């Protein structure tokens, strides 16, 4: 966990606010909270603890400190989660940068919000609580995987919207009343942004509308029959009709 460079991004602003909040905590409160923790009681404030967590490798030593932080979270969840978020901010920073480069259509604020949300979710998850070691590795891997999976889904949604704003839309609009297609574009936008369509349904639309995947190819890749896929598409179209009504 390296310190990483600071900038004017929202993640660095969050870091400044969290550090400011923690700086108001009296040293005695830290000592009292960590008094029963063999590793944590060596730190009188959050700064040297964060320095160690960020600079040290993901080994048995960091495992012990993280384990003690998880135990202490029961006593003061707000304080401990702030420390944990600060410890993993460099990892989030690098992940957000990589996602932004791979998916330039996504807003950095949205990527940041999702990354922080996934981190907090995993820190509170039963999966993490069941672990006995390799905490830093497990947290980083889980959060990165979820952020990249989310980014791929969001990219599909954005591409789907672009499809209805593209030359294909313009060609159709030239043949039919403009108002009809304007309503269609607005309807699809609402379905996507308000979560009326599930991720799997959106993926299905992307595959057939954007990628030109045939039913046979899609069925073979996903281990389903062509007939089952045909029925699924029929149900999806019926759902779109219901939503339109």
pLDDT tens digits, 12-62:
888 888 888 887 776 677 777 787 788 887 887 788 888 888 887 777 788
> pLDDT digits over 186-201, tens only?
666 777 777 777 767 7
Encode pLDDT of 81-121 as tens digits. 999 999 999 999 999 999 998 888 888 888 999 999 999 99
Nearest-angstrom CA–CA distance, 115 and 154: 13
Collect all residues with Cβ–Cβ distance below 8 Å to 131 and sequence separation of at least 6.
Answer: 138
Domain ranges of the chain: 10-137, 165-244
Q: What is the pTM of this model?
A: 0.62
How many CA within 13 A on the CB side of residue 6? 6
pLDDT digits (tens, 9 = 90+) for 139-184: 999 999 999 988 887 776 665 555 544 544 444 444 444 455 555 6
Could you please state the CATH topology (level 3) that the domain comprising 165-244 is classified under: Arc Repressor Mutant, subunit A (1.10.10)
The confidence score (pLDDT) of residue 157 equals 61
Write down the pLDDT at residue 208. 64
């Amino acid at each position: 966990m390296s310190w990483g460079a600071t900038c004017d991004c929202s993640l660095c602003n969050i870091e400044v606010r969290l550090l400011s909040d923690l700086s108001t905590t009296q040293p005695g409160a830290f000592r009292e909270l960590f008094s029963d923790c063999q590793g944590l009681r060596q730190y009188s404030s959050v700064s040297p603890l964060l320095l160690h967590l960020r600079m040290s490798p993901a080994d048995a030593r960091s495992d012990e400190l993280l384990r003690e932080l998880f135990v202490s979270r029961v006593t003061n969840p707000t304080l401990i989660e702030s420390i944990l978020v600060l410890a993993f901010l460099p990892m989030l920073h690098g992940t957000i940068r990589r996602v932004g480069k791979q998916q330039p259509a996504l807003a950095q604020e949205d990527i940041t919000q999702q990354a922080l949300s996934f981190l907090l979710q995993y820190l509170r998850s039963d999966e993490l609580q069941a672990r006995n070691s390799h905490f830093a590795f497990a947290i980083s891997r889980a959060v990165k995987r979820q952020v990249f999976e989310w980014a791929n889904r969001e990219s599909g949604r954005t591409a789907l919207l672009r499809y209805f704003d593209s030359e294909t839309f313009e060609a159709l609009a030239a043949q039919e009343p403009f108002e009809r297609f304007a309503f269609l574009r607005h309807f699809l936008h609402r379905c996507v942004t308000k979560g009326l369509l599930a991720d799997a349904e959106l993926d299905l639309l992307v595959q057939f509308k954007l990628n030109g995947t045939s039913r046979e190819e899609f069925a073979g890749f996903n281990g389903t029959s062509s007939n089952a896929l045909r029925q699924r598409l029929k149900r999806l179209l019926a759902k779109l009709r219901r939503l339109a009504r």
